[in-house]
Amino acid sequence: MQRIGVFVCHCGTNIAGTVDVKAVAAALKNEPGVVFSTDYQYMCSQAGQDMIKEAIAEHHLGGIVICSCSPRMHEATFRKTAAAAGLNPYMVEIANIREQCSWVHKDMAVGTEKAIILGKAAVAKVNLNTPLTPGQSPVTKRALVIGGGIAGIQTALDIAEAGFPVDIVETKPTIGGKMAQLDKTFPTLDCAACILTPKMVDAGQHENIRIFSYSEVTAVKGFVGNFDVTIKRKARYVKEDVCTGCGLCTEKCPQKKVPNEFNLGMDNRRAIYIPFAQAVPKVATIDPDYCMMLKSGKCGVCSKVCTAGAIDYKAKDEYIEEKYGAIVVATGFNPISMEKFDEYAYSQSKDVITSLEFERLTNAAGPTQGKLLRPSDGEHPHTIVFVQCVGSRCEACSEKGKEYCSKICCMYTAKHAMLTRDKYPDTDVYVFYIDVRTPGKNFDEFYRRAVEEYGVHYIKGMVGKVSPEGKKLHVQASDLLAGKQLHIDADLVVLAAAIEPDRSARPLATMLTASMDTNDFFTEAHPKLRPVESPTAGVFLSGACQGPKDIPETVSQAGAAAAKVIGLLCKDHLTGNPCVAHADEMMCNGCSTCERVCPYGAITYVEKEFRMPDRTTKLRRVASVNEAVCQGCGACTVACMSGAMDLRGFMNRQIQAEVDAICK
Amino acid sequence: MQVTEYKPLIVAFCCNWCSYAGADLAGNNRLSYPADVKIIRVPCSCRVNPMFILRAFQRGADGVILCGCHPGDCHYTTGNYYTRRRMALLFSMLDYLGIERERTRVEWVSAAEGAKFAATMNDFVAQVAALGENKRLEDLRCKK
Amino acid sequence: MQNKNERRREQILRISGVNPLKCMRCGKCSATCPSYDEMEYHPHEFVYMVETGDLEPLIHSASIYQCLSCMACVERCPRGVEPGKLIEALRLTVIREKDGNHMTADTIPAVIDDETPQQAIVSALRKYTK
Amino acid sequence: MKVSYYPGCTLRNKAKDLDIWARRSAEALGVELCELEDWQCCGGVFVAAKDEIATKLSSVRALAQARDRGQPLVTVCSACHNVIKRTNQTMRTDADFAAKVHNYMAQDPNHIAPYTGETEVYHYLELLRDVVGFDRVREAVKRPLTGKKIAAYYGCLLLRPGKVMRMDDPENPRVMEDFIRALGAEPVIYPARNECCGGYVVLENAQSAEKRSRTVSASATGHGAEMIVTACPLCKYNLVKSGSELPVVYFTELLAEALGVKEESYAE
């Protein structure tokens, strides 16, 4: 039994107006364990706190109950008070007799009676409290950024600038991501490469940044401040530190028929390649699926022409292990496959393309050197139809598309339409839309310019079918405002394909025990107040892996994620929450149920030796909670069938004592 | 002879992040509800072991209500989904034992829904009061 | 009158299983409808008119007999509204009422020839009569 | 192997040849089509309304009979296939509907155990693709249709609703094209192949059906087809009636011709 002190606060008249505080203090005096009980005008005031400290010392109190306002208000205050008096801060319980009593009841007798019961419940709980000490863990002062698009680059640069080392892991041979493939950017129409490539160079040259390109994260262990990460460096068959990026090999390689993924397969590259001129690192990579030397041992041209001697056909995948304090996910997005939308004839005609393909077709570094030419015959298209929302905003159970709005399509389509009309005024441009969504600075103005200054035909309605007939694409569509079914013979049809998270995100989320929504976007810790943190401590989110985003939003989120990482890495030690789950190993039956319900992956099972009553030892499998990872939700405590799992600070016994006290 | 009005005894479990804050907000806005409701704070609705609810009924509670974050808004991501499933099972078992469905309830109350909290409690108390005392599971040995 | 309209609307929703509130008004059903030009009211208008309860014009319109039941609108609707099923339910509601038959056995000989497959006749009777 | 076979009303009358060639070809491919006893007309169209019970009973009877025989149910006519497959799906997924059907069926003199969607329903083309295999068809071909440019016409009934029919990609199907390739001919892919021919509306608005069918045959002609092949008697009727320049034939006729069993069936 503890020696308990009870302190009833008047809160001016806030409590005392409806609750007879003296009666409460008197009634609680008789509760088991209570050795001291008093009331005071303002417990949270300096005088009130001093009174508590004195009482703790004078009466050798082992636990205190404050009957006052909500614990959400002053629990932290009174815990500090207790600590200052040498009492463990977790020996403090609050009975909420203001928000949940005096403020919601009008009758003094009723309020007083309820306040006494709430006080009794708190006394019953504190009787069972045990001193708790939060654990401390050191912080590895290095960050990992997974994904080297604009989100990853910006996050890495911001962290590096703050003085912490950062590693970027990128699966492609170069950083740059989707933004490197874009031509112009809305709403200012500055060229994507002009604003991105300097950042890529900065990242490549920064003393605090290491870039692991052509690499993947394959395993993550540990917890906030202490992640152990395995990174697979895929064999690129070119020594990264020796290659000068001169590009001679990429001109001499005899294997010319490799679909160029950077141009979305609209032209070819060689088997040894540098994705684009401004690649970082500017190093060649051999594609093992097409290299004749790797496939059949016959060729070796690149090795012969390489003056630096960088080619290494015998290279193997390498695995490196590194420690990190924080991990930022920046795995980005991809347009969805148009396979299930063949009413638009994407797979039946080369002249039906996606918006990203259109982006390459208008890019000076693209397959047509920036001339807008039909992929089928290289002719200038004179009628172009843009179809919005292809695969976005589908019903929830759709087998074809996504339920969400992809957010960026309205704006990039306005950009495409405007640029087309600007460069080729003889071209008719139709945009079929359901809604034009332009919430963003200067966005709607931009869209209006497309209509008013550039004469883009915006038509409210959807395209129903695209029929390739001869050299034309017969487009059948609704014009809802005119009440007509339109039939347009187009030369080019551009589909605004919905975007989805990169495929690598799902396995990565499993490794990180970071949660995802049903669309495989990473879930943020709080949708409004913690938008760049994952619910898993130490894992942060940057860019479109968290939801569809345009470039300005991505860059702001990238900076925000970096700020959170810097805040974490600045600390030498992390103080945990001591109210975490704890397994009684003697009771644990090793069933793994708790492991499965834990949303944080905080529970693992370990084999442990136990001494049996007959003096033999037995190896048993028992649950072990990582206190640095556990967030204290208690899901495991209820799932545990043997009753071994309990939650410190909210133990089964404590809650039952509260129930009993209330029901007495 | 004095006739006392029947006052039901209601135990409310509220999760720390949404519903407890919602209850506080009801207080801040002075939205009254019957004093019969006594709130117990838990970190998450999924911390509520069915045992606690059975215990409350055994000790003479007339109704038990469990409040958590709205589905999808759980501070711990998935806690309230566990709650929803567990309580569906528990309530059907209670039903089998003869505890009326109306004596138990799961309600999602966010931190912004002070008004909903008060309205829910008013409604629930009236509902339980209409049923009268819970005698089915009550253990008289626990009565003083 | 109000009641009759409401009853009809309720029946249409019930037997079609369609929820017109799912419609996001994109017009893809009407974009895809092969009978568009034969109709006075078009698939997206059907959905909206049933949603708002504006049934009278539809009931008296020849449009409801022009649907081919080809299910193109059902297939392509991004929201799973299934306008084709709604039109069918509406037509059934009309033909089930007194004197609602749109076609009778007597009128069939005039519209068939020696080659007309039986399938066409039974289908038409099923679509246009009770 | 043995499969249950549902010919349907039109194959007994106006489209006898569709039926005969299907039977002959199946025999040549080692599949025995066991015609259901006392089958009744499927009604020609699937009535989507949930409260239309009686109109679907004949399909349920056919399905139940196949189930009792332990055989999959095969249809040739696109319309029958559409009705029976969709009825089967409804029996599987709509418990309320199935219960009402059982109440009806319980009054049948030859009452059978309640049917709950156990039977697999194949269109003849699916049978060729999934059970026989197009490779086996290719091997069995005696007179390949080499050089012929054939446009497959699916119409609407074979493919839609895609979620229920599960026959092929409803927007870019390939089963008939693969079938044509297996016979040694060259398929012509044209966009109108999954558009409706006008269907039963030919009796209500002949002009509308004519327009629809013309669109289809013009599209096939424009893409260089020499012939249109279909699985549906009504499609064939509408296409021919609208004055298609191209000959319109049933897929079973082509199959019988390639397998070398066409003359035999003429002899009958």
Task: Give me the residue spans of the domains in chain D.
Answer: 2-124, 143-259
Residue D265 has pLDDT above 60, yes or no: no
* Token pair listed for A348: 């039946």
Q: Which of A106, A515, A662 sits opposite B38 (nearest CB)?
A: A662
3+ Cβ–Cβ pairs closer than 8 Å linking B and C: no
**Which pLDDT value is given to residue D107?**
86
- Mention every residue, 6+ apart, whose C-beta is less than 8 A from residue D89: D117, D164
Tell me which of 3.40.50.300, 1.10.357.10, 1.20.1050.140, 3.30.479.20 is the CATH number of domain D2-124: 1.20.1050.140
**Distance in angstroms (rounded) separating the CA atoms of residues B92 and B34:** 27
How confident is the prediction for chain D on average, in pLDDT? 93
String of b and e for A215-233 (b: at least 16 CB within 10 Å)?
A: bbbeebebbbbbbebebbb
Q: How far is B56 from chain A (nearest CA, A)?
A: 6
CA dihedral angle for residue A487, residue A492, residue A496, residue A502, rounded to 10 degrees: 140
Write the CATH number of the domain with boundaries A4-128.
3.40.50
Hey, are the CB atoms on B35 and A96 less than 8 Å from each other?
A: no
B43 touches chain A (CB under 8 A): yes
Q: How far is C113 from chain D (nearest CA, A)?
A: 10
**Which pLDDT value is given to residue D157?**
94
- What is the mean pLDDT of each successive set of 10 residues along chain A, which is 664 residues long? 93 95 96 95 95 96 96 93 96 96 95 96 96 92 98 98 98 97 95 96 97 97 91 97 96 96 96 96 96 95 96 97 98 96 96 97 94 96 98 91 96 97 97 97 97 97 96 97 97 98 94 86 85 91 97 97 98 91 94 92 92 89 90 94 95 96 90
**Distance in angstroms (rounded) separating the CA atoms of residues A15 and A516:** 44
**Which pLDDT value is given to residue C1?**
56
User: Which letter does DSSP use for residue D226 in this model?
Assistant: S
B17 touches chain A (CB under 8 A): no
Residue D266 has pLDDT above 90, yes or no: no
Q: What is the pLDDT of residues D203-257, one digit of tens each?
A: 999 999 999 999 999 999 999 999 999 999 999 999 999 999 999 999 999 999 9
Hey, are the CB atoms on C44 and A476 less than 8 Å from each other?
A: no
Q: Which of A410, A411, A234, A407 is nearest to A317 (CA)?
A: A234
Domain A235-316 in CATH 3.30.70? The answer is: yes
Domain A581-648: state its class: alpha beta
**Which pLDDT value is given to residue A135?**
85
3+ Cβ–Cβ pairs closer than 8 Å linking B and D: no
Q: What is the pLDDT of residues A535-557, one digit of tens each?
A: 788 999 999 999 999 999 999 99
Q: Which of A104, A599, A663 sits opposite B9 (nearest CB)?
A: A663
**Which pLDDT value is given to residue D268?**
42
Q: How far apart are the first and last CA of chain B?
A: 23
User: How far apart, in Å, are the Cα atoms of D262 and each of A282, A370, D142, D183, D258?
Assistant: 67, 58, 11, 14, 8
Question: Distance of alpha carbon B134 from its chain centroid, rounded?
Answer: 14
**Distance in angstroms (rounded) separating the CA atoms of residues A180 and A149:** 8
Q: Which of B11, B73, B76 sits opposite A633 (nearest CB)?
A: B76
Q: Angle CA(C25)–CA(C26)–CA(C27) in degrees, nearest 5?
A: 95
A97 touches chain B (CB under 8 A): no
| Residues of chain B positioned with their CB less than 8 A from the CB of A656 | 51-52, 55
**Which pLDDT value is given to residue A518?**
84
Fold assignment, A333-500: FAD/NAD(P)-binding domain (3.50.50)
Strand segments (E) across A330-483:
333-335, 352-354, 383-390, 428-433, 457-460, 463-469, 472-479
| Residues of chain A positioned with their CB less than 8 A from the CB of D171 | 340-343
* Token pair listed for D251: 């897929």
Question: Omega into A187 within 30° of 0, i.e. cis?
Answer: yes
Neighbours of chain C (3+ CB pairs under 8 A): A, D
Under DSSP, is residue D52 helix (H, G, I), strand (E, B) or coil? coil
**Distance in angstroms (rounded) separating the CA atoms of residues A555 and A88:** 44
What are the backbone angles phi and psi of residue D94, rounded to the nearest 5°? -115, 95
In this structure, chain D runs to a length of: 268
**Distance in angstroms (rounded) separating the CA atoms of residues B110 and D178:** 57
**Cβ proximity of B68 and B19 under 8 Å:** yes
A348 touches chain D (CB under 8 A): yes
**Distance in angstroms (rounded) separating the CA atoms of residues A463 and A346:** 13
Neighbours of chain D (3+ CB pairs under 8 A): A, C
The architecture that CATH gives domain D143-259 is: 3-Layer(aba) Sandwich (3.40)
Tell me which of 3.30.300, 2.60.40, 3.40.50, 2.50.20 is the CATH number of domain B10-136: 3.40.50
CA dihedral angle for residue A643, residue A645, residue A647, residue A652, rounded to 10 degrees: 0
Q: How far is C96 from chain D (nearest CA, A)?
A: 12
User: How far apart, in Å, are the Cα atoms of A268 and each of A56, A263, A283, A360, A376?
Assistant: 80, 8, 19, 13, 15
Residue D113 has pLDDT above 90, yes or no: no
User: Which letter does DSSP use for residue A337 in this model?
Assistant: P
Hey, are the CB atoms on D219 and A342 less than 8 Å from each other?
A: no
Q: Which of D258, D252, D222, D264 is nearest to D125 (CA)?
A: D252
What are the backbone angles phi and psi of residue A385, rounded to the nearest 5°? -115, 125
Task: A376-382: list long-range contacts, CB under 8 Å, 24+ apart.
Answer: A376/A349, A376/A350, A376/A351, A376/A471, A377/A471, A379/A491, A380/A424, A380/A427, A381/A351, A381/A427, A381/A490, A381/A491, A381/A492, A382/A426, A382/A427, A382/A428, A382/A491
**Distance in angstroms (rounded) separating the CA atoms of residues A152 and A542:** 7
ipTM for this model: 0.82
**Cβ proximity of A61 and A87 under 8 Å:** yes
What are the backbone angles phi and psi of residue D96, rounded to the nearest 5°? -65, -45
| Residues of chain C positioned with their CB less than 8 A from the CB of A343 | 32, 76
What are the backbone angles phi and psi of residue A530, rounded to the nearest 5°? -135, 60
Q: What is the mean pLDDT of residues C74-96?
A: 95
Q: Which of A332, A343, A337, A341 is nearest to A357 (CA)?
A: A337
Domain boundaries, chain A: 4-128, 235-316, 333-500, 581-648
- Mention every residue, 6+ apart, whose C-beta is less than 8 A from residue C67: C35, C84, C87, C88, C91, D201
Equal CATH topology for A4-128 and A581-648: no
Q: What is the pLDDT of residues C94-116, one digit of tens each?
A: 999 988 899 988 989 999 999 99
Q: Would you give per-residue pLDDT tens digits along chain B (144 residues)? A: 455 678 899 999 999 988 999 999 999 999 999 999 999 999 999 999 999 999 999 999 999 999 999 887 788 878 999 999 999 999 999 999 889 999 999 999 988 889 999 999 999 999 999 999 888 887 777 654
